[in-house]
Chain A
Amino acid sequence: MDMTLLVNEFLITGIIVLLLLLDFMIKDKKEIIGVVFSALMFGMMLFVMFFNRKGILLGGAFVADGIAWFSKIIILAAAFLTGLMSVNTIKVSKKYTAAYYILLACSTLGLMFLVSSKELITLYVGLELATISLYALSAIYKNDDLSLEAGIKYIILGAVSSGILLYGLSLIYGVTRTTYLDGIMNYASTGLINPVFIMALIMTLLGVGFKLSMVPMHVWTPDVYQGAPTPVTAFISVASKAAGFVFALRLFAYMFIRLDYVWVPILSIIAFLTMTIGNLMAIPQKNVKRLLAYSTISQAGYILVGFVGASVIGISSVMFYLLAYTITNIAAFAVVAAFAKSTGSEELDDYAGLAQKEPLLALIFMFALLSLAGIPPLAGFVGKFFLFYAAMQRGYVWLVVAGALNSTVSLYYYLLVLRQMYLTDRKKELPKVVMPLGIKLTLLITMIAIFVLGLMPGPVLDMTTEIAQKLFLK
């Protein structure tokens, strides 16, 4: 047994303990904990990037493969940028500042386990460690009605969905008599499929769909995104979703790959509904965080299009899009956090005339939104192009057409925001937006990444293609 494969997870656990100790030692300047957290997460990201060991541990329950490696980089990057964004913008009392970062680190740890596990118990525990920390994080403003309401809605709907997921997993265990994904794949490949197994597959899909905010399970998304503290919203929308997609990749593109005649039609319809409903609901929104919440629902729909082409190109495009989506969404939420910190408002009407007062902030928000809409030469365009290309290759032309139409609809409401910022005059006087150093750094890093990924996607795409090929070799 090569325990060094677990070194990333052990180091994160060490970081959690270190943050706890720092909480005891630092009395006044609690922001230091945030800075330490961000620095350590950045260090971990570089460490994971260069310490790239592959292998299997604990009889196949824990695996360090390409997908796990790539998604751990995404998760750590999201944790790093979230920490950086939080340092100056969160409004929790001194007593709870450390708790905020510790919960963030716990969630990161859970997500890292989730993407690495290939056994149902490990998957479940990783999933719950990540989500329970996020439940607490979204309700951490305990004097804010909206934050508390977000917390209770998130926890109740999350627990229902994990109950459905568990029931599905228990049926899978009953039918296949194993909890290892490899064993389940062997069963699913025999071709002797009974109806209970199909039912279990659908229940699992519903349970996973909660994390991805897939359409029948998306109702929590806007409320939680609006109520939770903005950096937490950013983290939920990128890291938790990325890990959810890796979970879904392991289940569908790996474990149930031979059952694709069952889940590909279901998933293509769900992808269509997710894109359409997300986009249509976003149009009338007045709150920027709520608008971005519906936009992330539609983004999840685009990513599901890549699943439909469950091929090498499909998986590689899903991985690439997850990275592009992560940095773009963090940039958008960082702008919202900076604006809300100074003006105390998240209403779209208050963004009127932002371009005259804060040209730089408005420009960055414009690039982030255009990248989400998929305008070249930004990162979102390349990602979306390959997602649709993958579905095209499998012959899902109607889905690609629907996706293209949806992109147009999404461009409409992103342009509504841009019109507010650039063409409308400010109606009431709002304080000037001060950008603290943490936000500045976050925006700088994400902007560079959006342009680099958009202009030179080659190296990253080669990497994701190689990872996807290795998944299918076995």
Chain B
Amino acid sequence: MITLAHYIILGAILFAIGIFGVITRRNAIGILMSLELIFNAVNINMVAFSRFLTPEGAYGELFTIFIITVAAAESVLGLAIILAIYRKRQVLNADEMNLMKW
């Protein structure tokens, strides 16, 4: 029997992996992918809460649809900026994007 706790633990693990990825990835595209993991962790949480706790309303599902849309917009913009930087400076690693410090 799969209970609410299973989903929440899955969400928490996914969130932790996402945060770990954002911190450790050097490649900017890898960072964007880790960000998607964070958003998906939230989505799992939302849908699970909605299914188990408020089956009469669909607030969680509604929230998830908005999160997916916004995350897509964010990745598109992020990729566009990464592409522009790559064309200009041939740099893809986040730690080389360091023209400004302190």
Contact = CB atoms under 8 A, between A and B. Distances in A.
Contact residue range for chain B? 35 or more
A137 to B, nearest CB: 11
Nearest to A285: B102
Interface in A110-155: 120-121, 124-125, 128, 132, 135-136, 139, 142-143, 145-146, 148-153, 155
Contact of B42 (A143, A163, A178, A227): A163
A76 B15 CA distance: 37
> Could you say which of B28, B54, B70 has the most chain A C-beta atoms within 10 Å of its C-beta?
B70
Contacts of B88: 143, 145, 148
B77 A121 contact: no
B63 A121 contact: yes
Nearest to A131: B74
Interface string B27-57: 0100110010011011001100100011000
B35 A160 contact: yes
B100 interface: yes
Contact of B100 (A149, A164, A166): A149
Interface in A444-466: none
Contacts of A226: 100
Contact of B39 (A120, A156, A163): A163
A176 B32 CA distance: 31
Nearest to B28: A152
Interface stretch (A167-175, A233-241, A244-252, A255-263): A167-175
Contacts of A171: 45
B85 A167 contact: no
Nearest to B59: A179
Given A120-B63, A159-B78, A223 B100 contact: yes
B97 interface: yes
Nearest to B18: A163
A145 B89 contact: yes
Nearest to A156: B31
Nearest 10 interchain pairs by C-beta: A163-B38, A170-B45, A174-B49, A166-B42, A128-B70, A151-B81, A223-B100, A159-B35, A179-B59, A148-B85
Interface of A: 120-121, 124-125, 128, 132, 135-136, 139, 142-143, 145-146, 148-153, 155-156, 159-160, 163-164, 166-167, 169-171, 173-174, 177-179, 222-223, 226-227, 281
